[in-house]
Amino acid sequence: MTNHNNHPKTELRNVRPTCPYVYFIGFQYIGSRGIGFANVEVSLAQPLAAIEAVHQVEATLREQGYNRALIMGYSLLRDESRTRGAR
């Protein structure tokens, strides 16, 4: 994930052949000064097609130090497997 604030660094951003689905995710969390908002780019092995997958990403954000992370929205930026296959 790309971190766009001064919160703990997150490391989920690497696009690998096994993680071709690249999403833009907006989320909120509880910080030392109250509610914070952040946007990250995430590469996943599977598309976010079910709420369980969204909850898994939230759990990973929490593990990375974002207290009570809650995804507010997301959008698929690109599918690297389709890009590679088109060449």
Place of tokens 């599977």: 46
Domains and CATH numbers, the chain: 21-80 (3.10.20)
Q: What is the mean pLDDT of residues 18-33?
A: 95
Indicate the helix (H) or strand (E) that contains 75. strand 70-79
The whole-model pTM stands at: 0.74
Query: DSSP letters of 10-74?
Result: -------TT--EEEEEEEEEEETTEEEEEEEEEEESS---SHHHHHHHHHHHHHTT-TT-EEEEE
pLDDT tens track for 63-81: 999 999 999 999 999 999 8
